[in-house]
Structure 1
Amino acid sequence: MTANDTREARADAVRALEGEFSELFTHVRRLFAENANRLSPGMLPGAYKVFTTIVRRESITLSALAESLHTDKGQLSRTVRELEDLGLVTRTPDPTDGRSSLISATADGLRRLREVRAPRESALSNALDRWDVDDIRELTRLLRALSQSAVPG
């Protein structure tokens, strides 16, 4: 295989991967919209993403959340306030920095999220039911490397 053939094969593979990601992102956007609406009727998918990021991080400052989501701190502050008004998150003083607060999910928010996710989690589990567990772990490892712009090792 020549260097040109290798470049073309890589370009074709990357385009195919991009196409699959496009399909996956469309599916995820639809899922987020459905889950957001089930969590709180009228909730926008962006607010759902903010909430699930807070849940994943367990406790996070607004600045760290904005950095994690690559978003404007002002808009994010309004979204977090909406999540507070819905009883999904709470703010507590940051023990390491008195000027900021830690944002975390409430017990009710976690319960409601579990209820919203339950039907979809079984769908993912069913889709992966016949996959070898090592293949699932490998996909997870490769996606983590890709999301961190790292070379899989």
Structure 2
Amino acid sequence: MPSDIPAPAPSPGSLDPRLAQDLTVAASRFARTIARRADVGVSSVAWRLCSTIHRRGPLRLSEIADAENVTRPTATATVHRLEVAGLVCREPDAHDHRSSLIDLTPAGLEALRRWTSALGHAAGPLLGELSDEDLATLYRATALLHRLADAAEHDHTPPPAS
């Protein structure tokens, strides 16, 4: 929903489905815009994948594909590129000797820090134009989005049919 259009007042106990739609579209649009401005030198799938591994720990390829909502071949190709660059490594899975776990290398962790710093610097000028009240709202919204994402990552029930 464009910022110049006032949001409808919510009714007590109700959730307008447009909120979820608009929030998802706006967050995705903002993330893509900042990624383009930051030009970190790798695909957004690559730095998101590294961020997921950093947050969740070593993962199987199938878990990476699921977490990033990409196909297994895309996850495999991205991991291969990151592995060749020395940013991730494979280690044996102690619970399943047929599988390996993908983890960040020290170089991968440093690259992730550089990428996230670049993203922050790219967003800074835009955020700097906001009022203190708007910034406080974004701090609160960021905490809420992290909480919702954490809960969703641990909820393995299928989404409702649309």
TM superposition score normalised by structure 1: 0.67
1:20 to 7, 10, 23: 23
Whose helix proportion is higher, 1 or 2? 1
Q: Is the Cα–Cα contact under 8 Å of residues 47 and 112 in structure 2 kept in the other structure?
A: no
> What secondary structure, in the 3-state scheme, does the structure 2 residue paired with 1:102 have?
strand
RMSD over aligned CA atoms reads 3.6
Instruction: Answer whether contact 2:62 2:72 (CA < 8 A) is retained.
Output: yes
- Superimposed CA distance per residue, residues 21-57 of structure 1 (whole angstroms, 9 cap, x where no aligned partner): 312210112234455x42xx2x222222222222222
> Distance in 2 between the 1:146 and 1:100 partners?
25
Aligned residue in 2 for 1:78: 77
Q: CA–CA distance in 2 between the matches of 1:21 and 1:143? A: 12
Indicate the residue corresponding to 1:98 in structure 2.
97
What do the CA deviations read for 1:91-145 (whole angstroms, capped 9, x no partner)?
011111111111000111111211222351894x9878645x8876556445555
Q: Aligned residue for 2:115?
A: 116
Paired with 1:93 and 1:146, the residues of 2 have a C-alpha distance of 28
* Unaligned runs of at least 5 residues, structure 2: 1-10, 158-162
Alignment coverage as a number of residue pairs:
137
Is 1:89 the counterpart of 2:88 in the alignment?
A: yes
Identity value in percent: 26
SS of match in other structure, 1:113: helix
The answer for the alignment partner of 1:67 in structure 2 is: 66
CA apart distance, 1:82: 0.3
Q: 1 or 2 for the larger relative contact order (CA 8 Å, sep ≥6)?
A: 2
- In structure 2, the partner of 1:3 is none
The equivalent residue for 1:29 is 32
- AA aligned opposite 1:56: R
SS of the aligned residue for 1:71 comes to coil
Q: Distance in 2 between matches of 1:78 and 1:139?
A: 29
